[in-house]
């Protein structure tokens, strides 16, 4: 247990050193230079390690856990492709670890590899955001009754109002095995999401909100809200609080309602996060 914790902490710190500097979004050429000069390997989505429990119940070994996410990307082309585009290979792993049970079992691991084709959005000479065409797979690597998997093809976009406020959205076409154990996953995990990210006090605080629409015309969303505070001025590590309410937080229990709050350490790209 101690050896694993030290190894994981070392890996997280190593990944945090790969985050890129924040370019001037008022100058799209500055953004392009950052993309082309930063290391090809780096962060994709937020990386974090957190601990939490179910809201509304007394914490115990069965409703409390550790949740962590590791997300990386590799730029496959050194220079811009036609139409000012870039090609990325990415991988995200999200894990739910029952550390309070006697044998410390992993409850569920969710594996999410994919390929994204990224294009800048520009307004005159200003960088306004990105649009991505994404092909991805997500599964929990199990077989039998506990097997969960689906594939997604879609588009996502991130649009900057200014340096401190970004809106984002994602819509995709799901490809689900009709004979699988999660053929109704779209009813719970949805097929589109939207949200926002706000940075205040020169990057000291960051607020994230992601809403995922479930099936139907009701006002039913899976909600994830986060608030993080910068630990040190010159790095990208945050102490953060995460709230999740809804279905689909993990693939094994995609059709089970969860309402959980967690606290932990967040490592995020300095430029923008991918959702």
> Which whole-number Å values give the CA distances from 150 to 49, 252, 271, in the listed order?
25, 12, 30
What pLDDT score was predicted for residue 40? 84
Q: Calculate mean pLDDT across residues 258-265.
A: 97
User: Over the stretch 197-236, which tens digit does the pLDDT of each residue have?
Assistant: 998 877 789 999 999 999 888 889 999 999 999 888 777 8
Give the pLDDT score at 215. Answer: 85
CA atoms within 13 A on the CB side of 230: 15
Q: What per-residue confidence (pLDDT) applies to 245?
A: 97
pLDDT at 113 over 60: yes
Query: What's the pLDDT at 70?
Result: 97
* Mean pLDDT over the full length of the chain: 86
- Which of 5-14, 136-145, 236-245 is the least confident region? 5-14
Task: State the pLDDT at residue 202.
Answer: 76
- C-alpha dist (Å) from residue 37 to 33, 41, 233: 6, 11, 23
Residue 271 has pLDDT above 70, yes or no: no
170: β partners: 156, 193
What pLDDT score does 206 carry? 92
pLDDT value for 243 = 98
For residue 159, what pLDDT is reported? 93
Provide the pLDDT confidence category of residue 182 given band limits of 50, 70 and 90.
Answer: very high
19-23, 121-125, 162-166, 201-205: range with lowest mean pLDDT:
19-23
| pLDDT at site 250 | 97
% pLDDT > 90, the chain: 62
Is the distance from CB of 222 to CB of 248 less than 8 angstroms?
yes
Look at residues 230, 231, 227 and name the one whose alpha carbon lies nearest to residue 240: 227
Q: Is the pLDDT of residue 1 over 50?
A: no
Least confident among 26-35, 212-221, 250-259? 26-35
pLDDT at 25: 59
Span 80-97, pLDDT tens digits: 888 889 999 999 999 999
Instruction: Identify the residue with better confidence: 138 or 79.
Output: 138
């Amino acid at each position: 247990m101690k050896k694993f914790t030290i190894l994981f902490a070392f890996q997280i710190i190593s990944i945090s050193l790969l985050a890129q500097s924040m370019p001037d979004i008022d100058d799209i050429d500055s953004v392009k230079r950052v993309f082309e000069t930063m290391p090809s390997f780096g962060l994709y989505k937020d990386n974090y390690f957190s601990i939490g429990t179910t809201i509304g119940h007394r914490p115990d070994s069965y409703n409390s856990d550790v949740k962590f996410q590791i997300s990386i990307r590799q730029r496959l082309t050194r220079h811009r492709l036609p139409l000012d585009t870039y090609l990325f290979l990415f991988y995200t792993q999200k894990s739910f670890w029952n550390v309070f049970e006697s044998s410390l079992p992993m409850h569920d691991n969710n594996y999410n590899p994919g390929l994204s084709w990224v294009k800048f959005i520009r307004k005159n000479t200003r960088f306004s955001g990105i649009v991505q065409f994404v092909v991805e797979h997500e599964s929990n690597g199990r077989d039998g009754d506990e097997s969960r998997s689906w594939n997604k093809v879609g588009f996502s976009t991130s649009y900057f109002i200014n340096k401190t406020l970004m809106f984002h959205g994602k819509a995709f076409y799901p490809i689900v095995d009709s004979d699988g154990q999660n053929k109704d996953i779209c009813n719970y995990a949805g097929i589109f999401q939207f949200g926002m990210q706000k940075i205040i006090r020169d990057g000291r605080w960051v607020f994230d909100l992601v809403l995922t629409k479930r099936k139907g015309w009701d006002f039913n969303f899976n909600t994830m809200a986060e608030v993080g505070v910068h630990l040190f001025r010159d790095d990208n590590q945050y102490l953060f609080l995460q709230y999740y309410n809804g279905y689909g937080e993990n693939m094994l229990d995609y059709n089970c309602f969860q309402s959980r709050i967690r606290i932990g350490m967040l490592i995020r790209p300095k430029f923008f996060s991918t959702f």
